[in-house]
Structure 1
Amino acid sequence: MSSLQDQLLKAGLVDTKKAKQTKKEKAKQAKVQKRSKQPSVDETKLAAQQARQEKIERDRKLNAERNAAAQEKAIQAQIKQLITLNRQAKQGDTAYNFTDGSTVKSLYASAQQVEQLSRGLLAVVRLDEQYELVPAIIAEKIADRDATVVVSQASKSADTLDEDDPYADYVIPDDLMW
């Protein structure tokens, strides 16, 4: 079996003078390495190792981005499933006004649902471009996953009266609409 140098000589790609010079340089490097007892740095091996490390790092970053996108997609699917399985039917003629960002929106629901919305038992959530009513427990689960989906939820406050309330003696009529 002939060496690569012999093959290049036979093919005429390298002349004998250049081959001898390369052989001498190689022997000289080996001799210097033996004397110095310090490992010589091979630039090609170092460059290859550095390129391999960079590729591993790029692959790691790409995998992290893919995993994050898949996780976000799974969370959105969970939110959609929670809303579609637990939404309440919006049948009624009583308007419930709420804010979505900086705009005021209206939702028509039954009087009982409007009361539950104001007491914090129901919440308004956004599903695609529509608004749905879901129980407060489900709204909390949705808010744990993505708080921007829950549009309006009143705080669950007990109907306790403040001791210092100057209007405590005045009764608010039931038929009063704000």
Structure 2
Amino acid sequence: MAKPNALQEQLLKAGLARKAQASAAAREQAKARQGKAPDASAEIQREAERVRAEKAERDRAIAAERNAQARATELKAQARQIIQAHAVPHAGESEYRFNDGAAIRTLLIDATLRKALSAGALVIVSHGEGHALLPRAAAEKVRERAPEAIVVDHGQVGESTVPSTGNAEDDAYYAQFQIPDDLVW
């Protein structure tokens, strides 16, 4: 065992302590020294493991966010390619006005394009700084990838085309008057 220290020797000589008490105290001190070291390292290991798990979770969340952003960018790029490949050239002397968010925009088109737009065969989509006309099939592909690019779609199924005034009586009265889709204003 360990060599007794000077204080223990003095207590033994003075008769204030017994040899059994001194050896028991020495054993407890030795156990405490040995016991605390593994506890401290185990606590450090648990803390390190917790930090590693938190870091792995953060890394997974960041990777998922990056993947979602990359997927959204990829879908927008595919929509741009579809619009470029299938855009119907439009030219004419007749103005076709439509709402694009809070602004009213104008496209110059001819009578055949106006009929196709009002029938729902053509759809207006935003394309860069301007707008483009797309056939319905191409517009559906764009809608799957970037629905915010669709500006005007008169042939969309399930959507109410009658605007509401906010008053049920007025809506019922004005419902008897049909507004043509190809109205020029």
Relative distance call for 1:132 and 1:43 in structure 2 (3 A) is same
Relative distance call for 1:42 and 1:99 in structure 2 (3 A) is same
CA contact (8 A) 1:119 1:156 kept: no
Read off the aligned partner of 1:51 and give its amino acid letter. Answer: V
Residue 16 (structure 1) aligns with: none
Percentage of identical aligned residues: 31
Aligned residues: 137
Residue 128 (structure 1) aligns with: 128
CA contact (8 A) 1:123 1:133 kept: yes
Equivalent residue runs for 1:75-86 within 5 Å: 75-86=75-86
Q: Structure 1 length as normaliser, TM-score?
A: 0.67
CA contact (8 A) 1:87 1:133 kept: yes
Equivalent residue runs for 1:27-176 within 5 Å: 27-29=34-36, 42-155=42-155
Question: Secondary structure of the equivalent of 2:97?
Answer: strand
CA contact (8 A) 1:121 1:156 kept: no
Question: Secondary structure of the equivalent of 1:133?
Answer: strand
Relative distance call for 1:43 and 1:90 in structure 2 (3 A) is same
Report the Cα distance in structure 2 between the residues aligned to 1:135 and 1:109, rounded to whole angstroms.
15
Read off the aligned partner of 1:79 and give its amino acid letter. Answer: A
Report the Cα distance in structure 2 between the residues aligned to 1:177 and 1:65, rounded to whole angstroms.
46
Q: 1:65-88 deviations in whole A, cap 9, x for unaligned?
A: 110111011001100000000001
What residue ranges of structure 1 are gaps of 5+ in the alignment? 1-22, 34-38, 158-164
Question: Secondary structure of the equivalent of 2:95?
Answer: strand
Deviation of the 1:29 alpha carbon: 4.8
Report the Cα distance in structure 2 between the residues aligned to 1:106 and 1:133, rounded to whole angstroms.
12
What stretches of structure 1 move > 4 A for 4+ residues in a row?
Answer: 165-168
Q: Which structure would you say has the larger Rg? A: 2
Relative distance call for 1:125 and 1:101 in structure 2 (3 A) is same
Report the Cα distance in structure 1 between the residues aligned to 2:34 and 2:156, rounded to whole angstroms.
86
Report the Cα distance in structure 1 between the residues aligned to 2:36 and 2:86, rounded to whole angstroms.
77
Report the Cα distance in structure 1 between the residues aligned to 2:131 and 2:91, rounded to whole angstroms.
13
Deviation of the 1:42 alpha carbon: 1.9
Q: Which has the higher contact order (CA 8 A, sep 6+)?
A: 2
Relative distance call for 1:86 and 1:41 in structure 2 (3 A) is same
Question: Secondary structure of the equivalent of 1:155?
Answer: coil
Q: 1:24-70 deviations in whole A, cap 9, x for unaligned?
A: 3443458xx9xxxxx99821011000011011001101101110111
